[in-house]
Copies of this chain bind each other. A is one copy, B any other.
């Protein structure tokens, strides 16, 4: 490969000093219009691209941010298309501000060197947990950081949320309006201040508003995955004949539930209503098409990256938490409760 074109080549070719070339590129200093033209011509002709490495050395800013996904190896993350949409949203927003994005996997605690080495300007941390040791490591970096899809109750941290409580509320209300009185909830791990917990609170609120008791509802606080959903459906088929509707706090879980019920000869929605959360792509193509709570993941990525940009610019907004709206999407997997009410 031919050796790179540098600022020196441009200066020589244009018959000016490198300082002038630099000034032209950055629009700094006083340069005559004629010189500007001449230099720009040469830059264009020589296809000169200034080295960011050299620039970073002065500026300290790398114009690079990282999306950090702790524990990337876990199949849970790997199989979740959610993250891809997120990456794309983040990439778009970053590009807009002429930042570029790296994907980092930091399952081992020592792998934070890159943040310092690369002079990263900021971090978006996705999907970690309250009290995860990795959080302290990240904060110790003293870099601008936005947490998303995380379970952190510390309100001094910058975070992007969904209106999870509203989502839980809307879902429960929908089932209630269909006449269901005994609902099972596959709700993930209920950690105080976490997203699942918020959904759970919304659920409870709807139940109370309907004048019902939480005692008739069933909580299954297991991790949400398709396989777990499938097994849970089996369990419910055998042990909980009173349940007429299931609310899974993730579409993935709902998928597994429906499959599990099917295997047990329980028809959805005829014998059992199932409602999800997320509205992943495909969900409208399922049989039955899934009723769910829609969140806009792409938008979430955009919001996170915008927040991070403000932090980096030091033009931080007042709000440290951004809450994105959710929407109830009614399709086929939920239906009127046909069981006889048995007060």
- Chain A residues with a Cβ under 8 A of chain B: 1-2, 4, 49-54, 56-57, 60, 62, 72-73, 77-81, 83-85, 87-88, 91-92, 95, 100-105, 113-114, 116-119, 142-143, 226, 230, 252, 255-256, 258-259, 262, 281-282, 285-287, 289, 298
Contacts and interface: CB of A to CB of B under 8 A. Distances in A.
A285 B230 contact: yes
> Copy number in this complex?
2
A281 B87 contact: no
A301 to B, nearest CB: 11
Contact of A84 (B49, B87, B262, B285): B87
B49 A57 contact: no
A100 B100 CA distance: 13
Given A101-B102, A103-B101, A259-B287, A113 B53 contact: no
A256 B281 contact: no
A119 B259 contact: no
B113 A49 contact: yes
13 contacts: A51-B117, A52-B118, A53-B62, A72-B91, A73-B92, A77-B88, A87-B103, A91-B103, A102-B103, A230-B285, A255-B285, A258-B287, A259-B289
A252 B286 CA distance: 11
Contacts of A72: 88, 91-92
Name which of A4, A77, A103 has the most chain B CB atoms within 10 A of its CB. A103
Contacts of A298: 78
Contacts of A119: 51-53
Contacts of A258: 285, 287
Contacts of A95: 105
A52 B114 CA distance: 9
A236 to B, nearest CB: 16
Contacts of A52: 53, 117-119
Given A84-B87, A282-B282, 10 more contacts: A4-B60, A50-B117, A73-B92, A92-B105, A100-B114, A100-B118, A226-B281, A258-B285, A259-B289, A286-B286
Contacts of A102: 100-103
Given A102-B102, A258-B287, A286-B286, A85 B91 contact: no
Contacts of A60: 4
Contacts of A256: 285
B285 A259 contact: yes
A52 B53 CA distance: 8
A117 to B, nearest CB: 5
A56 B281 CA distance: 42
